[in-house]
Amino acid sequence: MGRWGWRLFEGDQDLDVVLSISDDDTLGITTGQWEYSLSAMVHQSDMLAPPEAAAVYRTAEYAHQLANVIVPYIRQKLDTNNLGERMFAACRAKESDPDDLFQEAKYRTIMIGALMMRAGARINAADLQHLRDLVPQINCTSRRTLFDDHGFRSPGRAQFLAALDHYQPGVARSFQEPSCFKCGKIEEDIGRKPLQCKKCKVATYCGKDCQRDQWREHRVSCVPPGHSRVLNV
């Protein structure tokens, strides 16, 4: 259904890339039959999901399962026999395709990096630097778009850069909890939950400085709940 949020894994594009990474034909790497797939870490239930489905993701039981079973399981899979690094290398090898007009291969590498940080899997220094170098090459927009859903929305880019800044092997990085739309930081980074925009109830900020600095960008989409004329952002 397109994109229903501004951050990573809040759109069909991102989730489709995650599913493609798990497909043996995409990277030429066999992952086998995993009990939990990569997408299990980043469900990001969209606005059309049945209420009962969305409610499951808000339960304490699900949070415990995600943090203590699903994420450690996938981390172990990615770290075994350097699977994560091999998947990363396979993605990088496809980035030079001259026919890739929408930077799909480069964005796939971004998604691999995000998934590895989500799991807390090992990422070597060269790959971390490559991810930083890729970010300015990826299309990024701060406005709603009906057709061209390629690359980052600006809060997602900030979220990704903050994850890189705070990356630690063995420490899972959440992309689901609220993050600052300007600097990308989450509660773990600032010691408290980001504050919600009082008008739209969507954007979140670590403080007034970030909210003020992003206002020119945010104001075009800052409408009260139920008043938006467009579903996709």
Q: Is residue 182 included in any domain, yes or no?
A: no
139-143, 213-217, 226-230: segment of lowest average pLDDT: 226-230
Q: Is residue 7 included in any domain, yes or no?
A: no
Q: Is residue 133 included in any domain, yes or no?
A: yes
Query: How many domains would you assign to the chain?
Result: 1
Tens of pLDDT, residues 126-158: 999 999 999 999 999 887 766 667 899 999 999
Q: Is residue 19 included in any domain, yes or no?
A: yes
User: In the beta sheet, which residues pair with residue 152?
Assistant: 140
Beta pairing class for 204-205 and 195-196: antiparallel
Confidence check: pLDDT of 209 > 90: yes
| Residue 233 contacts residue 4 (beta carbons within 8 Å) | yes
Q: In which domain, by residue range, is 106 found? A: 12-173
Tens of pLDDT, residues 12-40: 889 999 988 888 788 888 777 899 999 99
Q: Is residue 219 included in any domain, yes or no?
A: no
Confidence check: pLDDT of 1 > 60: no
Q: Is residue 92 included in any domain, yes or no?
A: yes
Q: What is the pLDDT of residue 228?
A: 66
Q: What is the pLDDT of residue 229?
A: 61
Beta pairing class for 140-141 and 204-205: unpaired
Q: Is residue 104 included in any domain, yes or no?
A: yes
Confidence check: pLDDT of 168 > 90: yes
Q: What is the 3-state secondary structure (H, E, C) of 112-164?
A: HHHHHHHHCCCCCHHHHHHHHHHHHHCCEECCCCCCCCCCEEHHHHHHHHHHH
Query: What mean pLDDT is predicted for residues 67-86?
Result: 96
Q: In angstroms, rounded to a whole number, what is the distance separating the alpha carbons of residues 165 and 20? A: 27
Q: Is residue 119 included in any domain, yes or no?
A: yes
- pTM assigned to the model: 0.92
